[in-house]
Every structure is written in C-alpha cells, then in structure tokens.
Chain A
C-alpha cells in the first residue's frame, strides 16, 4: 500500500513540474492564434493574422535569415573545432588534458553579459564591432563548450580497440575514420550540432552587444520590439514559431540520437 502511495506522490510531483515548465509555452502558443489586437490570455477569437503579419514583415524575415546563417556557420565551425579537440584530448591523452577540458568549458561558467562587454572593448580595438566575422567568432565561442562537452563524451564511449581492430584488418587511418570512428560518432555529431545551433539561434545577450545595427538576429529583434512597443502579438506568433521549431529539433534529436543520454 505504501509503495502505491509513494508512486502516486511521485507521479503528482512530476506532473506539477511538467505543468510548471510547459504552461508558459502553452500560453504562448494559444495566444499566438488570438484574433485580437493586443496580447491576452486566454484567446477569445482565433485567427492566423499574427503569423501572416510576422511572415510579411521584411525586418523579421531578414532577421530570421541572419539567425539561420549565423547559427549554421557557428555550428559548423564549433562542432569541427570541438571534434578535433575531443579527438586530441580523448585519443591523445595529453598530460594537460584536464586543464584543456576546463578551458573549453570555461565560457559556461562566466556571466555572458560580462564576457560580452569585455569582448566588445576588444572588438573596438580591433575594429571588429558590427562585423559578421566578429559575430561568428563570438557565437563559436559560446557554442563551443556545449559541442566540446558532447564530443568528448561521444569519443570517450568509442572503444579505441575498435579502431585498432580495423587497422589490423588493413584499414588506413583515413579508412578507420570514415568506416569506424565517424559512423560511431554520428549521434554525437548530430546532437552537438543541434545544441550548438539552438544556443546560437537563441542568444540575445552577446548578439545585442556585438552585432551592432547591421546583423540583427531574430531573437534580438523580437526582444527590442518587445521593449519599445510592448507586447506585440506579432512577436508572440514569432515566439510560438521559435518554440515549435526548437521543440521539433529537440524531439528529432531525442528520438533519433538519444540526445539526453549524451548531455
């Protein structure tokens, strides 16, 4: 009897936590379909007018494009660097391995806003403020710790004896990489790419400070509009779309690549 009671308690607690986490997202999604002129919950009439408005808005469209481009470039660079670093650290087992791992994860431990302000003054010296290169480098830096963490965990799980066995069967190092290491690392590569893209895509703090007027990303534009014009139902619709896109990515990642086990 006691175990049935504690099972029920566990279920209740889990349900409460889930509701707490998901409630704002539900509010956002329902409100996005509201037909009114201002933000309100619960919605009284339903329409797609705010989605239409969001898509027809040229500024939002260009921001979405910038965010996607930036996210893809930063992800490709960060995941490549993270994979090389993980390979060197896990397979090379250098004496300073622990120190490098700590350095790779260091950006996670700093308040981003403090780090971004310092970066801003460095960029000012280098004349890199407001440039795409500067923005990409900043996004690589904030996504790298996540990508590196996943790639180190991924490579740690690949038995080096598999690579040794392949070599003994006649595979050159390039063939070992292509036929053994990469296929086994694929889940890690995909989940670290997904995480890196999401971190880049969702960033407001660093991008606001570094990007200047030329490269306004989707979340930055949404956030600034929110501050200047109050809660605009267009941003609610955009927010709902970002949530839907993010959930989709995570669900796909979770399903196919057991993302949660690696992180």
Chain B
C-alpha cells in the first residue's frame, strides 16, 4: 500500500432532495496532516464531514482510511473523533463521564480508563479533578471537554466542525493557536471545517477550498494566497481579501476601467504582456497590502479617495477607480492626500481571471 494516502476520498457524491451537496469530490490527506475545509455555508463542507464520520451515507464514491475501505462502515466502527459545533456534550453525565464515554464503548475500564481521561483533559488544558456538569461550564470550557472526549478514544481521524464559530473574537485567536498546538502534540490527522479563511490559513497545513459541492483548490496556505486558482478564491483569501478589478483590454497597452476611464499601466501589467487580446474582459486581483498611492506618475491608476478606517498598525483606505471600489492597506503613518490620487499596483505579472468563468488566465512567457 505504499504511495496510498492515509485518507483517500474518491468521486464522492451526495444529493439532498435533488440538490447536489457534493459533486464528484476527490481529496487526499496525508497521515498527521491538519487540513481545513474552507468555503461559504452550503458549499458541502459539513456534508463531507458527516459522510466522513459515517453519520451520512454518500450516494456515490469511496473513502479509504489507512488502506481500508470505510465507505459503508457504520460510525461506531470507524474510530473517528467528531467535535460538533455546539459541542453536543451529554447533559446527564459529568465531565469525566463524558470524556470516559468512548472508552466505555471500547471496553477500556478501571485504572487505564481513569488515566486516559486524565490525559485527555490535561491535553486540552482542563483540570482532571473538575467535578461538574457540562451546563455549569463556559462555552470555551465545553469545547475543551468535547475535544477531550473525541481524542480520548485516540481516533484515527479528528473532525472539527466550525470549532471557533461559537467563541468570542478574543478567545477565537487563542483557541485556534491551541488547536494547532494540540494537533502538533498528538499527531492526530485532523480535518477542520470552517467558513473563516483567516482561521483556515492560520491553523492548517493544507486548505481545501470548496464551492457548490466541488473542490476548487487544495493547497498550502501560502500557495493559496499567492496562486489562487479562481477569482472566487482570490476574492475570499486574505484580510482583507484581494480586490477584483473588472477590466476590458482596449489595446495592447491600455485597459478600460468600469465606467469608461482609461488606464495605461506599466508594461508588466499591460494586456499584451499578459496575453489578453483587445476587447477581452477579465478580473485583476489586487491585494490590498501590495498597493501604493502616489501623485501623478506613469503607470498609475486614477482613483478618488473615500473612507479611511484606522485598524491599529494599519489603515484601510477605500478608493474608487471609475465605478469600481478598491481597498488598500497602508501603514498607519502614511499620509493620504485626497480627493484624487494615483494607485500603483506592484510591477510584476498580475493575477488575471477570465471575467466569465472566473478561471485564472495562463501567464505567458
């Protein structure tokens, strides 16, 4: 079985009452990896998680885990840990009994079970002596119990469903780091479902971006940021996400902005250099943190300055280019002179997408 990935998902399909939730879905996960399934709500990521846990049966396709076909295996024989968004702690059991539940099912008893409950609780940073009911805990503590309960069975796979969405902003930052550290300590192959790109980029080794039941791109966070496969991903990744500027090539050297204004950019950004024929419509991804403002100069994009948001170390400057709205992230100290200015994208081959399909345009050499 060499060369066979630890988790192998092939042509998985699922439809609910006619609506397709998953479409011909493939995914490979290496042992010990931390993968994020990222996408807007309704993209099929939660369906995929339910199918992996065995709670939902796929219409088509196969799932192999550690070399064995688990597609039709019932959930109680999969040994896959699942942490629900609402934690789903058993309200009639104490915290220790919750964590011990899976061990009871495995037939692990007595001292060994006690030791494993202690270990799991310590792993998530809870006091093993905590003698309380789940309802007496804060949301953050309940989540720790839910994770301890899932890892106590030493699962072959740990599934996390939107683990940070019920926590407040401050706790979210802390917990996402802890999730990563927990993964690094236990080495459990982990799949996390999230709709928050910052969460996915910060925690995962690889991010699977999903849209409408399909896998759009599966890559390490850095690659996803640098090389988004579609305009949808470019417009989704980053804080704030890339601006997608609609452009029509006027000739070899200039673009028409939305609203009809002309832009004559540096040669590296010109249509001819990027293989775009005159008359073709495309979207140019402009990362807010790579843009600069200046006074009149060759290659600048004419913009009007709008609102400015101060965010601490940075400021978000909103500008209008023709009828398009763009956002720049500039250091807080930068002086922004309005009302009109010139915007300068970095002089390098830009990220261009077909305006109709959203697909990345090939970079010519």
Binding site for B on A (CB under 8 A): 159, 161-162, 164-172, 175, 179-180, 183-184
Give 17 pairs: A residue, B residue, CB < 8 Å, sorted on A.
Answer: A159-B86, A159-B88, A162-B91, A164-B75, A165-B82, A165-B149, A167-B54, A167-B75, A168-B75, A168-B76, A169-B102, A169-B105, A169-B153, A170-B153, A171-B101, A179-B101, A183-B92
A190 vs B81: C-alpha distance when bound (angstroms): 34
Q: Which chain B residues lie closer than 8 Å to A175 at the CB level?
A: 76, 105
Q: Which chain B residues lie closer than 8 Å to A172 at the CB level?
A: 74, 76
Who on chain B is nearest to A161 by CB? B88
Complex contact A162–B106 (CB within 8 A): no
A161 vs B56: C-alpha distance when bound (angstroms): 13
Complex contact B101–A161 (CB within 8 A): no
Q: Which chain B residues lie closer than 8 Å to A179 at the CB level?
A: 101
Who on chain B is nearest to A171 by CB? B105
Complex contact A169–B149 (CB within 8 A): yes
A164 vs B81: C-alpha distance when bound (angstroms): 11
- In the A-B complex, the 10 residue pairs with the closest CB atoms: A170-B105, A169-B102, A168-B82, A165-B88, A161-B88, A167-B75, A183-B92, A170-B76, A167-B76, A171-B105
Chain B contacts with A in 24-60, Cβ cutoff 8 A: 53-55
Q: Which chain B residues lie closer than 8 Å to A170 at the CB level?
A: 76-77, 79, 102, 105-106, 153
A79 vs B7: C-alpha distance when bound (angstroms): 46
**When A166-B90, A169-B153 are in contact, do A161 and B84 touch as well, CB less than 8 Å?**
yes
A179 vs B53: C-alpha distance when bound (angstroms): 20
Complex contact A168–B53 (CB within 8 A): yes
Who on chain A is nearest to B155 by CB? A168
What's the minimum C-beta distance from A139 to chain B, rounded to whole angstroms? 32
Complex contact A180–B90 (CB within 8 A): yes
**When A170-B105, A172-B76 are in contact, do A164 and B90 touch as well, CB less than 8 Å?**
no
Q: In this assembly, does B63 line the interface, its C-beta being within 8 Å of a C-beta of chain A?
A: no
Q: Which chain A residues lie closer than 8 Å to B86 at the CB level?
A: 159, 161
Complex contact B91–A184 (CB within 8 A): yes
Who on chain A is nearest to B55 by CB? A164
Q: Which chain A residues lie closer than 8 Å to B78 at the CB level?
A: 168
Contact-size category for B: 20 to 34
Q: In this assembly, does B80 line the interface, its C-beta being within 8 Å of a C-beta of chain A?
A: yes
Complex contact A165–B84 (CB within 8 A): yes
Main secondary structure of the interface of A (DSSP, over half): helix
Kindly name the residue among B75, B102, B150, B153 whose own CB sees the greatest number of chain A CB atoms within 10 A.
B75
Chain B contacts with A in 253-281, Cβ cutoff 8 A: none
Who on chain B is nearest to A172 by CB? B76
Q: Which chain A residues lie closer than 8 Å to B150 at the CB level?
A: 168-169
What's the minimum C-beta distance from B54 to chain A, rounded to whole angstroms? 8
Who on chain B is nearest to A164 by CB? B55
A170 vs B84: C-alpha distance when bound (angstroms): 16
What's the minimum C-beta distance from A92 to chain B, rounded to whole angstroms? 15
**When A159-B88, A162-B88 are in contact, do A168 and B105 touch as well, CB less than 8 Å?**
no
Who on chain B is nearest to A169 by CB? B102
**When A161-B88, A172-B76, A180-B90 are in contact, do A166 and B82 touch as well, CB less than 8 Å?**
no
Complex contact B81–A168 (CB within 8 A): yes
Additional 4 contacts, C-beta under 8 A, given A169-B150, A171-B105: A164-B53, A168-B75, A183-B92, A184-B92
Q: Which chain A residues lie closer than 8 Å to B90 at the CB level?
A: 162, 165-166, 180
Q: Which chain A residues lie closer than 8 Å to B105 at the CB level?
A: 169-171, 175
Q: Mark B289-316, 1 if CB is under 8 A from A, else 0.
A: 0000000000000000000000000000
Q: Which chain A residues lie closer than 8 Å to B153 at the CB level?
A: 169-170
Q: Which chain B residues lie closer than 8 Å to A180 at the CB level?
A: 90
Complex contact B91–A164 (CB within 8 A): no
Q: Which chain A residues lie closer than 8 Å to B79 at the CB level?
A: 170
Q: Which chain B residues lie closer than 8 Å to A165 at the CB level?
A: 82, 84, 88, 90, 149
Q: Which chain A residues lie closer than 8 Å to B91 at the CB level?
A: 162, 184
Q: Which chain A residues lie closer than 8 Å to B80 at the CB level?
A: 168
A97 vs B110: C-alpha distance when bound (angstroms): 45
Who on chain A is nearest to B102 by CB? A169
A169 vs B146: C-alpha distance when bound (angstroms): 11
